[in-house]
């Protein structure tokens, strides 16, 4: 297609034609750099048999690229002012379905059933940054069949997803993402690649879903409760953080014994533990929690 939107001129023309007003509350920063779009597409490894879910198509810039590679694109956009614009910018792409809905309210598993016979889909997006974590976590936790997720996020969030123990960026998000997927930062993206410019740096990250989780744990929900409790009070010892958590019902003695049984010192902090160690801790405490 001749008139791709991936440059400032085409984007501004579309915005002016429809007198579109950017809404900050929806995290609207549209991509205007063809190199970045090429990098996203290459990282997503889309084939012509794939069904891609795009979250927040905006005026359809990334959608056009996706539609040229994939068999089917399903694009979910919350802002109804963008729907007539998408009708025009995507009119040459019969393999795109636009749904005007809040992605956090969409039954994504149902979409994979309807558009991909329940086979794993790929998720590609320049995400609205205000809901990055709930979007990623609901894709994983709802057991949506997903191959990989390639998304633009705030640089700081990409760093947190990829961090390991000992790093200041390491936290509950790192562990949750790494339990479900292996993260890879594809590119750092400066603010001038968007219109309007965001106040923060951005990065494209690909999360490739594990076929099997890298650790075995009897009760993954308990493990995540332990992880949340440990990082809620990051500066406290692991023992104190777990003792203070209203989410856990085990006694101080049981927690102390579980920590000792892993060979860890009494003053260790949660931020020093690996995913394997959190899994082992959860297994030790599983019999004591309701």
Positions that interact with ligand SAM (CB under 6 A): 26-31, 55-58, 61-62, 76-79, 82, 102-104, 126, 128, 131
**Shortest Å distance, C-beta 153 to ligand SAM:** 10
Of 82 and 176, CB closest to ligand SAM: 82
**If you search the block for the tokens 């109804």, which residue do you land on?**
80
**Shortest Å distance, C-beta 224 to ligand SAM:** 23
Q: Check if the beta carbon of residue 64 is closer than 8 Å to that of residue 1.
A: yes
Residue 120 DSSP symbol: P
* Distance separating alpha carbons of residues 190 and 287, to the nearest angstrom: 49
Helix (H, G, I), strand (E, B) or coil at 41: helix
263 is in an annotated binding site: no
29 is in an annotated binding site: yes
**Shortest Å distance, C-beta 71 to ligand SAM:** 20
Of 58 and 183, CB closest to ligand SAM: 58
* Distance separating alpha carbons of residues 288 and 282, to the nearest angstrom: 10
Of 103 and 273, CB closest to ligand SAM: 103
**Shortest Å distance, C-beta 117 to ligand SAM:** 24
**105-128 residues labelled b (16+ CB within 10 A) or e (exposed):** ebebbebbeebbeeeebbbbbbbb
77 is in an annotated binding site: yes
Of 77 and 283, CB closest to ligand SAM: 77
**Shortest Å distance, C-beta 14 to ligand SAM:** 11
Q: Where are the alpha helices (DSSP H) in the chain?
A: 8-17, 34-44, 61-69, 83-89, 108-116, 132-141, 155-162, 172-180, 220-232, 238-244, 252-261, 275-285
What residues are designated binding site for S-adenosyl-L-methionine? 29, 31, 56, 77, 102, 126
What residues are designated binding site? 29, 31, 56, 77, 102, 126
């Amino acid at each position: 297609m001749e008139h791709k939107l991936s440059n400032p001129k085409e984007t501004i023309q579309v915005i002016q034609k429809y007198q579109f007003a950017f809404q900050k509350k929806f995290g609207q920063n549209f991509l205007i750099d063809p190199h970045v779009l090429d990098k996203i597409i290459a990282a997503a490894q889309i084939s012509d048999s794939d069904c891609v879910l795009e979250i927040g198509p905006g005026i359809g810039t990334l959608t056009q690229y996706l539609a040229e590679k994939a068999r089917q694109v399903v694009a979910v956009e919350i802002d109804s002012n963008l729907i007539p614009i998408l009708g025009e910018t995507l009119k040459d792409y019969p393999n795109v379905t636009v749904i005007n809905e809040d992605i956090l309210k969409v039954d994504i598993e149902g979409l994979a059933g309807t558009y991909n016979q329940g086979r794993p889909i790929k998720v590609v997006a320049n995400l609205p940054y205000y809901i990055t974590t709930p979007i990623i976590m609901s894709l994983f936790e709802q057991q949506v069949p997903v191959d990989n997720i390639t998304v633009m996020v705030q640089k700081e969030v990409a760093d947190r997803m990829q961090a390991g123990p000992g790093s200041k960026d390491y936290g509950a998000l790192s562990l949750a993402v790494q339990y479900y997927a292996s993260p890879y930062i594809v590119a750092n993206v400066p603010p001038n690649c968007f219109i309007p410019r965001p106040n923060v740096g951005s990065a494209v990250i690909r999360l490739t879903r594990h076929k099997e989780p890298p650790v075995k744990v009897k009760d993954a929900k308990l493990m995540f409760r332990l992880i949340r409790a440990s990082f809620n009070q990051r500066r406290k010892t692991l023992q104190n953080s777990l003792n203070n958590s209203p989410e856990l019902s085990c006694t101080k003695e049981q927690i102390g014994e579980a920590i000792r049984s892993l060979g860890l010192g009494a003053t260790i902090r949660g931020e020093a533990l690996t995913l394997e160690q959190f899994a082992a801790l959860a297994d030790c405490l599983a019999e004591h929690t309701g």
